[in-house]
Amino acid sequence: MEKITKILLSENEMPRQWYNIMADMPNKPLPPLNPATGKPVGPEDLSVIFPMELIKQEVSTERYIDIPDEVLDLYRTFRPSPLYRARNLEKALGTKSKIYYKYEGGNYSGSHKANTAIPQAYYNKMEGVRRITTETGAGQWGSAMSFACNHFGLDLLVFMVRVSYNQKPGRKLMMNTYNARVVPSPSTMTAAGRSVLEADPDSPGSLGIAISEAMEIAAQDPYTKYALGSVLNHVILHQTIIGQEAMIQMEMAGDYPDVVIGCFGGGSNFSGISFPFLRENFVNGKKTRLVAIEPASCPKLTKGKFTYDFGDQSGMTPLLPMYTLGHNFIPDKIHAGGLRYHGAGVLVSQLRKDGFVEAKAKFQRECFEAAILFARSEGILPAPESSYAIAGALDEARRADLEGVSKTILFNLSGHGHFDITAYEKYFEGNLPDHEATTEEINQSLVNSAVPTF
């Protein structure tokens, strides 16, 4: 076999459809519930905040959904994304295993978020929406949405989690450059923000709070809709372009992954790379393991509870059946801002409950260490979020070596860390604390996050 390091696809080889795991799941997820009635939410309930086409995708059981031409046109500016064999990382580890990674940081937004920002902006535009509101944690989603909205002629208002707003001024300026307005959250613009500030004027914010603020504004105006960067089924659908490309590329490399790994915030990049491979498990008897890596400070998959909970802090979303730490949970201020979300998407939650998805929690220092080894071997500076996936891949390689076997490992490098350089500085200074959410804190949060029962 010829030595392969970088596997590129041509534009013509890019998949033209997204893959919907709902068609192949053995157990379909429970329905989202209207918190006022306890009945499953209908399309009308959601149409206040989302365009109809995305609502249809949210509940669709079609296996493949066509990607519109206008979306393909923008995808082509940065897709297909490259798949690399991490030969230098393998050498640095001295491992017998093969490590591959799909790099999603090479687009304008610097992360996989562009894959869903573009179709979300497109469908809103098609349905006459004029303005979009959204939240952003670390700023990658806000950046992705800013460019996509401006491209389709939509205004964008972004609520940026305050701790990230302070840590990452570069991301805010990038969003401004793409023509978006950015407000630190919690803010005084909304009732949700004001009530948090009343209780804690120094609140660092959370994704849950920022979502409440963005939804509150969208609900007040028929021409304003809301967009979410992770968690929801339609977001995960859009991200499956990653795994579908990776499957073709692995075949070109003459390999097939024993394990697929992604870092885990709400589940979109992990699901995006792994669900097409999970389909092969379901349909063609493959045995690939799927491993999600989450922060020990926000461990919904490993320490959370599977239950109905709100997707936001103030209870504006439907009740979602998911692994959660409670919608009032405020995670510690780790640098992987994109992983500071209290819940896991409904699809991954059901698949985890049914035993098809493994999960592991990690401390941020170990992940930065992995990111630095990766940067020094492969030359790409990873986003703090992505470093969790790298640490997960290193675990798999080391374990295989201890067992004396060689594995084929594939992980998603969800983004670059060019805006996160001060986090690296803190690591080098030895100023990066390890946080762990204790069982006690989580139980307390779940008590504080009670939801209506029926």
Ligand X SMILES: *Cc1c(COP(=O)(O)O)cnc(C)c1O
Contacts to ligand X by CB under 6 A: 111, 113, 140-141, 230, 263-270, 338-339, 383, 385-386, 414-415
Nearest distance, CB of residue 3 and ligand X, angstroms? 29
Nearest distance, CB of residue 328 and ligand X, angstroms? 20
Would you say 313 and 371 are in contact if contact means Cβ atoms under 8 Å apart?
A: no
Nearest distance, CB of residue 385 and ligand X, angstroms? 3
Written as six digits, the tokens of 2 are 């010829």
CA atoms of 244 and 280, how far apart (whole Å)? 11
Nearest distance, CB of residue 187 and ligand X, angstroms? 21
Nearest to 249 by CA among 85, 65, 72: 85
Nearest distance, CB of residue 404 and ligand X, angstroms? 33
The nearer residue to ligand X, 89 or 293, going by C-beta atoms, is 293
Nearest to 228 by CA among 315, 312, 129, 292: 312
CA atoms of 196 and 302, how far apart (whole Å)? 28
Q: What share of the chain is helix, strand, coil (3-state, %, to 5)?
A: 45, 20, 40
The nearer residue to ligand X, 341 or 356, going by C-beta atoms, is 341
Would you say 116 and 235 are in contact if contact means Cβ atoms under 8 Å apart?
A: yes
The nearer residue to ligand X, 86 or 197, going by C-beta atoms, is 86
The nearer residue to ligand X, 136 or 445, going by C-beta atoms, is 136
The nearer residue to ligand X, 217 or 301, going by C-beta atoms, is 301
CA atoms of 361 and 171, how far apart (whole Å)? 27
The nearer residue to ligand X, 111 or 212, going by C-beta atoms, is 111
Q: 64 φ, ψ to 5°?
A: -125, 140
The nearer residue to ligand X, 204 or 337, going by C-beta atoms, is 337
DSSP one-letter code for 237: H
Nearest distance, CB of residue 342 and ligand X, angstroms? 13
Nearest distance, CB of residue 25 and ligand X, angstroms? 19
Nearest distance, CB of residue 300 and ligand X, angstroms? 11
Burial 152-176 (b: 16+ CB within 10 A, else e): bebbbbbbbbbbbbebbeebbebbe
CA atoms of 27 and 22, how far apart (whole Å)? 9
The nearer residue to ligand X, 247 or 383, going by C-beta atoms, is 383
Q: Give the dihedral of Cα atoms 401, 404, 405, 408; nearest 10 deg.
A: 10
DSSP one-letter code for 41: P
DSSP one-letter code for 220: T
